[in-house]
Amino acid sequence: MFDSLKSKMKSLFSRADKAIDKEKVYKDEKEENKTPDQPVAPTTEKPETVKPSVDTPVQPQPPQPQQPAEPPAEPKLSRKELLKLKKQEKAAQKKAPENTSPVSDSGKKIKEDSLDGILDELQLILLEADVAYPVVEQICAQVKENLLGKKYDRSYTLEQVVEMSVKDAVRDVLKLNEFDFDSWLEGRERPTVIMFVGINGTGKTTAIAKLANRVQKNGKTVVLAACDTFRAGAIEQLTIHADKLGCKIVKQAHDADPAAVAYDAIEHAKSKRKDVVFIDTAGRMQTNSNLIEEMKKIVRVSKPDLKIFVGDSLAGNDAIEQAKVFDAAIGVDAIILTKIDTDAKGGAALSIAHTIGKPIAFVCNGQEYEDIVKFNTEWMIARMFE
């Protein structure tokens, strides 16, 4: 019996693999032995696993990427810094005008003797630039009042301080009533009536043709009214300009009533739905009372939206008297200066603007139709003091 059993057992072991992993066998046996203990463990751990399942829906996971955004972190870090930056920006803005002006609370004091000597030299510069003498006196007196007894930065010379102050005074006069003709015209109802006045020989008719060319290039239609029925050849001159520009001209015979010509031109513009009417009036001296009254009649009939005084940049002191008379008669709205391309430095612009307080709209710097430019204050100041 025992011998047969041993032989069978040997045969079984001989068939099995010789390298038996005892650890696996014993581990399996251990796990099988532990199986009765494991059901007890999960029973105790199940309530613990339920707790995280409850917590997971409560946790607001989607808003978390929004919370670390920069806005909430910035105020905490930069509240004080922002206040400091704002104070620094305000201080820089306050300091900016102080840096442009050399006059300050500390520095070298300005004395009257040295100031008068420099102002005398600047007076000559302004007079040579065709600025009227009364205007020069008023500007220099204002500069003296602003600087006398003040202190200036030692990094500047007194000559530089006075020159900068004079330029600022001139700039204030020229920029007092700035006028943008193009933008003004865009906002007007048609037909817009514009009347041109001035003395003989200032280039008024040519300035009208230049401005008509500018308006037409901006896409508007123009009607010219030949109301200068007094001067021989004035109607023919304006007719030639109208033919070259390709715009309509309304005219009558020589010595006709200029107010009637203006009325016909406006009625034509209304019927044909034209945009602008330019009224050319006869050149007249400011002392000719009869022609001044005729000009007033044209204003009463045509009721212009804009009255432009055309002045000669070479007129000098006489430009003031001309502007005064025309402004008192009809009320000038804007000014065009002609012949600025000559040797004149443009002091007439300062004289007229300072006297009647009206803006310079354009300057003419040549004989071609394109030779009319918008007035630039800085360019004029540089031209006067060059």
| C-alpha to C-alpha distance for 123 and 100, rounded to whole angstroms | 23
Strands 222-226 and 276-280: parallel
Query: Could you read off the pLDDT tens digit of each residue along the chain, which spans 386 residues?
Result: 556 656 666 665 555 545 555 555 444 444 444 444 444 444 444 444 444 444 444 444 544 444 444 444 433 435 555 565 565 565 555 443 334 567 766 677 888 888 888 888 888 888 888 788 888 888 888 888 888 878 877 778 888 888 888 888 888 888 776 789 999 999 889 899 999 998 888 889 999 999 999 999 999 999 999 999 888 788 999 999 999 999 999 999 888 999 999 999 999 999 999 999 999 998 877 667 788 888 999 999 999 999 999 988 887 677 778 888 899 999 999 999 898 887 567 677 888 888 888 888 999 988 899 999 998 888 888 877 77
The pair of three-digit structure tokens given for residue 46, joined into one six-digit string: 């199940």
Give the model's pLDDT for residue 49: 45
Instruction: Give backbone dihedrals phi and psi of 165, rounded to 5 degrees, phi first.
Output: -70, -40
Give the model's pLDDT for residue 250: 95
Contacts of residue 230, defined as CB under 8 A and 6 or more positions apart, other chains included, come to 255, 258, 282, 291
Number of Cα atoms under 13 Å in the Cβ half of residue 158 = 19
Residues of the chain with CATH 3.40.50.300: 181-375
Q: What is the DSSP string of 127-187?
A: HHTT--HHHHHHHHHHHHHHHTT-EE-TTS-HHHHHHHHHHHHHHHHHTTT---HHHHHHT
What letter represents residue 379's amino acid? W
Give the model's pLDDT for residue 80: 56
Give the model's pLDDT for residue 306: 95
Under CATH, domain 181-375 is a member of which superfamily? P-loop containing nucleotide triphosphate hydrolases (3.40.50.300)
Give the model's pLDDT for residue 231: 81
| C-alpha to C-alpha distance for 63 and 68, rounded to whole angstroms | 9
What letter represents residue 38's amino acid? Q
Phi-psi region of 354 (alpha: psi -120 to 50; beta: other; left: phi over 0): alpha
Q: What is the DSSP string of 236-271?
A: HHHHHHHHHHT-EEE---TT--HHHHHHHHHHHHHH
> CATH assignment of 103-174?
1.20.120.140
Count of residues in the chain: 386
Number of Cα atoms under 13 Å in the Cβ half of residue 336 = 29
Q: CA-based angle 260:226:235, to the nearest 5?
A: 125
Q: Distances from the Cα of 16 to the Cαs of 13, 92, 112, 162, 193, in angstroms?
A: 5, 96, 127, 118, 122
